[in-house]
Amino acid sequence: MTLELQGIGVSRGIAIGRAHILFHNQPDVREYLIPAFSIEQEVERLLDAIEQAKQQLKSIRNHIPANAPADVTSFIDTHILMLNDSSLTKVPVDMIRQRRCNAEWALQLQRDALINVFNEMDDPYLRTRRDDVDHVVNRIHRILADQEVADHEIADGRLKGHIIIAEDLTPADTVLMQHQGIAAFVTEHGGATSHTTILARSLGIPAIVGVESVRRYVQDNEPLIIDGEAGIMIAGADESTLKEYQQRRIAFDEHISSLSRYKSQPTRTRDGKTITLLANAELPEDITTISNAGAQGIGLYRTEFLYMNRLAPPEEEEQLAAYRDVVEGMNNQPVTIRTFDLGADKTVDGGRHLTQTVVTNPALGLRAIRLCLTQPAMFRTQLRAILRASAYGKIKIMFPMISTMHELLQARNLLEQCKLELDKEGMEYDRQVEIGAMIEIPASAVCAEMFARHVDFLSIGTNDLIQYTLAIDRIDDTVNYLYDPLHPAVLRLIHMTLEAGRKFNVPVSMCGEMAGDPRYTRLLLAMGLEHFSMHPNALLEIKQIINETDLSLLPANTLSIMEVSDALEADMLLEQINAPIIIKICLSFGFLIRTDKRILII
Ligand code: PEP
Ligand code: MG
C-alpha cells in the first residue's frame, strides 16, 4: 500500500532511500528530594553534564566540513554559548540548593521558564528560538540519564544514504548527519525559519518538517521518497512512482548543475538588453555565497544584524570594521548599505528600548527612517561609519521606508553634517557617494517622481510595499493568503516607480522577494526593471530566465496584466508570459508551480 504524507517542504531536492527512525525522546523527568549531605554532589553532577555537553558540541564543531556555510558553525556556537550562560549554569544550581531537588528537575524547571519567555515573543522568528533551548536542555538531560545513543548512532556511519525520520533535530545533529551522508530528513516538528531548516537549506539536504506523528507510520529501513519542495513523503511507492521520482531526481540534479554555467556569463536578454543582478546580504558571512553566485554587487545590505543580541547599539569603529570588510570582500563591486531598519518585526535588543512605546500596529509605527530620525546620535554614528567605509570601495547609502520629502531631506542633511565633521577631522570618504531611497510605501510609489529628483537611485522593497498596499501584516499567518504581487495595485505602483526613474534618468532596482521569484522575472523585465537584487541562492536561476528571454517575443498584452481585476485571469496571463521558460524549469524539477491562489500540476 502506498502512503503519502504531507508536511512543509523546507529544503528542496528529491531523495530516495531507506528510513532510519531516530528515537531521540526526552527522558522522563521526575522530581526527587536530595539529602542535604548530597546537595553539592548533585550540583557537581549537573555541572559535569553541562561540561560534557559542551565537549560534545565542540567535537561536533570540529567535524564541520571546511566548505560548510558559516551558518553551520554559528548555530553550534550559539548552543555552546548557551551552555556557558548563567541561565543554565547558575540558575538550576541555585534551584538544586534551595529546593533540594535533583539536577534533572532543576534543569526542567529552568527550561520551562525560558520557553515561556520565548513563547511570549511577538516575532515568529524569535519564537522559533525556543527550539534552541530545548535542543541544549535535551542534550544535558540525555547525558544525565546516560542516553547518549543518538550521537553514537549518528557518528558510526550507518546513516549514509538514509532518510532520517525524527521527532525533531538539533542543528548539531544536522551537521553530524550531513557529514555521514544522509539523503534527507523528515521531522514531526519544526518550522520554515528554525535553525535546523535554515541549515538544511544551506547544506543542501532535502527536508520536510511538520509531518505529524510520522514515526508512527514509517518503519525502520522502509524505502521512502522525499520531495523537499512539495513537502511530500511517500512510503511503499509502486514501480511507476519510483521511476517517476528517479527521473525527477536526475532532472533536478542536472538543473542545479546546469545553472553553474551561467555564473560567468553576462546577464543579457536574447535581444541584447543588459540587466544587473545584485545580491541581498544580511550577515557578513553571506559574502562568500554572494561571490560564488557571481553577483555584480550587493543591492541591499541589511545592517540590522549589527544591533542584535546586545543592549547598546554598535559604536562607529565596530560598524566601520563591518562595512569595510564587506566592501573589501566584494572587490570593488558596489555595495548598497541600507541604514538601520529597526522597529516593527525587526525590534532587537540594540533598538528595543527605542521603540517599546509603540504597542499597536508596529508596522505603521516608529520604524526604519522614522526611527533613524528620532535617534539622530545613533543614526549619525552609522552614517559616519558608512562614509568612512566608502574610502575602501564603492558604497551607496540607502534610506528605508521613506514616505515624505521632509524625511529624505532631513536624512540628507544629517549626512552632509557628517561629511563636514569628517572633513574637519581629516577623515577619508567618497565625496561622490550615491544616495538612494527605498520605495516601500504606496504614497512613495505614487510620488516616486518627487523623490527621484533628489536621489541617485531608487529601490523598490516589495515585501513592505505589498504589506502596506494590501494592508496585510507580513508576519501574520492568518492573512498570508492575501499576499499577492500580481494585485493590480501592486503592479501599478511598481510601474509608476519605474516610470519615474526613466523620466528623471534615475536607476531603479528591486530588492524585495519578488525580484528573486522566477515567476515574475519576465513580467518585471517587460515593465522595464533593469536592476534585480535577491537572495544569492536565487541568482543563477533568475539569470537563466533573463538570458533565455527575448523581450520582443513576449505577448503584446503583457502589460495589460496591470488592468486585470480577476486573480485567476492574471495567473493565466502570467503563464502565457512565462511560457515556455517556467514550464521548462518545473518540468526539470518535475513538480508543481505554486501560485498564490492555486497549485498547478504540470
Ligand atoms: C522590502 O521591504 O521589500 C525589503 C527589501 O526590506 P525588508 O524585507 O528588510 O523590510
Ligand atoms: Mg522593507
**3-state secondary structure labels for all residues of 434-500:** EEEEEECCHHHHHCHHHHHCCCCEEEECHHHHHHHHHCCCCCCHHHHHHCCCCCHHHHHHHHHHHHH
What grid cell was written down for 446? 505614487
Cell numbers 566540513: residue = 65
Q: 232: helix, coil or strand?
A: strand
Per annotation, catalytic residue among 20, 195, 487, 531: 195
What residue numbers does the annotated binding site cover?
A: 302, 338, 440, 463-464, 474
Q: Are strands 395-399 and 184-187 parallel, antiparallel or unpaired?
A: unpaired
Distance, CA of 582 to CA of 515 (rounded, Å): 15
**For residue 479, what pLDDT is reported?**
73
Q: Catalytic: 195?
A: yes
Class of the 36-144 domain?
mainly alpha
To test the pocket of ligand 1, the residue of 307, 371, 398, 464 to mutate (highest count of ligand atoms within 8 Å of its CB) is 464
Cα(346) to centroid of ligand 1, in Å? 11
To test the pocket of ligand 1, the residue of 278, 282, 286, 302 to mutate (highest count of ligand atoms within 8 Å of its CB) is 302
User: From the DSSP assignment, how many helices (H) and strands (E) are in the chain?
Assistant: 26, 18
Question: Residue 304 is which amino acid?
Answer: E
What residue numbers does the annotated binding site for Mg(2+) cover?
A: 440, 464
Ligand with smallest separation from the Cα of 511: 1
Q: Catalytic: 535?
A: no
Q: Is 344 in the pocket of ligand 1 (CB under 6 A)?
A: no
Helical H segments across 32-102, by residue range: 39-62, 70-84, 86-89, 91-99
CB 518 within 8 A of CB 539: no
What grid cell was written down for 484? 499577492
Ligand 1 atom 9, closest CA:
302
Tell me the domain boundaries of the chain: 3-23+150-258, 36-144, 274-551
**For residue 284, what pLDDT is reported?**
77
**Please, is 372 exposed, middle or buried when counting C-beta atoms within 10 Å of its C-beta (0-12, 13-18, 19+)?**
buried
**For residue 194, what pLDDT is reported?**
62
Per annotation, catalytic residue among 101, 418, 447, 511: 511
Is the whole model's pTM more than 0.85, yes or no? no
**For residue 24, what pLDDT is reported?**
56
Residue 6 backbone dihedrals phi, psi, to 5 degrees: -110, 130
Ligand 1 atom 4, closest CA:
461
**For residue 191, what pLDDT is reported?**
64
Distance, CA of 511 to CA of 516 (rounded, Å): 8
Q: Is 440 in the pocket of ligand 1 (CB under 6 A)?
A: yes
**CATH architecture classification, 3-23+150-258:** 3-Layer(bba) Sandwich (3.50)
Q: Is 343 in the pocket of ligand 1 (CB under 6 A)?
A: no
Q: Is 104 in the pocket of ligand 1 (CB under 6 A)?
A: no
Q: Is 302 in the pocket of ligand 1 (CB under 6 A)?
A: yes
The Cα-based distances of 386 to 296, 342, 398, 439, 540 in angstroms read 20, 17, 11, 21, 29
Domain 274-551 fold:
TIM Barrel (3.20.20)
Residues of the chain under the 50 pLDDT cut: 148-150, 152-153, 349-352, 356-359, 583-584, 586-602
**For residue 149, what pLDDT is reported?**
41
Q: Is 464 in the pocket of ligand 1 (CB under 6 A)?
A: yes
To test the pocket of ligand 1, the residue of 278, 438, 531 to mutate (highest count of ligand atoms within 8 Å of its CB) is 438
**For residue 198, what pLDDT is reported?**
65
C-alpha closest to that of 399 among 409, 389, 390:
409
**For residue 598, what pLDDT is reported?**
30
